[in-house]
Amino acid sequence: MPMRWFVFLIFAVLLNAYDVTITNVNSDVATLDKYVKKGVSGVVLCPYNGKNIICARAVCYGKKAKLLVYKELKNDAFALPVVLPKKGDKILLAKDYDRILIIAPNQLEYLKMKEKYKNATVISSDNFAAFLEGIPSRENFINFAKKLNIGRIIFVLDKIYEVDANSFYAVKKYGSINAKYKEIFFTTYPKFDIKGKNIIAYYKSLIKE
């Protein structure tokens, strides 16, 4: 039985994104016309009444993509049309990669990353800390990113990890860092107890590769 996909209009021009074309769909797996780095996520654009609408989410791996239901704009007050991703539809990738969250061990490393990614919009780690009651889970990161349209999370660990905020795959890692975490991450909010926790190892366990 085919999956159903709620569909939503696109309300803004999406910059710093790129697209690939679906060449075949088999259940919830799409074949793509181009190779895409493992873990890069995006949205499927389906033609509907002369417009492109979002009909699914996608997480890519090579020339394949896993199709997922797009729930972000669900509104039970409206009867929404149902459209299935199909051959010829586009997947818009990395659409929010210019909005980032930085997870760093201290203010110095945080400011270094802000400068390094100065062309991106940096969402303050204080905003994230305000939502937390303790050490953040993968779901905490993903849900916060969806609320604020964050595309990438930059982790300063033993290396710099650029993580897709939807799939939580590391889409890039580089450098060598001697980071030491005394808090869950740099924030001006009240302290979180991390006694006995190896924060670097913990964050690395959350990141998919």
Domains and CATH numbers, the chain: 8-93 (2.40.10), 99-206 (3.40.50)
pLDDT at residue 11, as a whole number: 38
Listed residue (79, 64, 73, 19) closest to 46, CA to CA: 19
Task: Tell me the three state secondary structure of residue 175.
Answer: coil
pLDDT number for residue 80 = 53
pLDDT at 32: 97
Q: Looking at residue 79, what is its pLDDT?
A: 45
Spell out, as residue ranges, where the chain has pLDDT lower than 50. 1-15, 75-79
- What pLDDT does 98 receive? 95
**Parallel/antiparallel/unpaired status of strands 18-26 and 121-123:** unpaired
Tell me, what's the pLDDT at 83?
81
pLDDT at 74: 55
Q: Are strands 18-26 and 90-93 parallel, antiparallel or unpaired?
A: antiparallel
Which of 129, 125, 120, 127 lies closest to 190 in space, CA to CA?
Answer: 129
Q: What pLDDT is stored for residue 201 in this prediction?
A: 95
Residue among 180, 209, 178, 172 at smallest CA distance from 197:
180
Q: Which pLDDT belongs to residue 191?
A: 73
Check residue 185 and give its pLDDT.
94
pLDDT of residue 51: 85
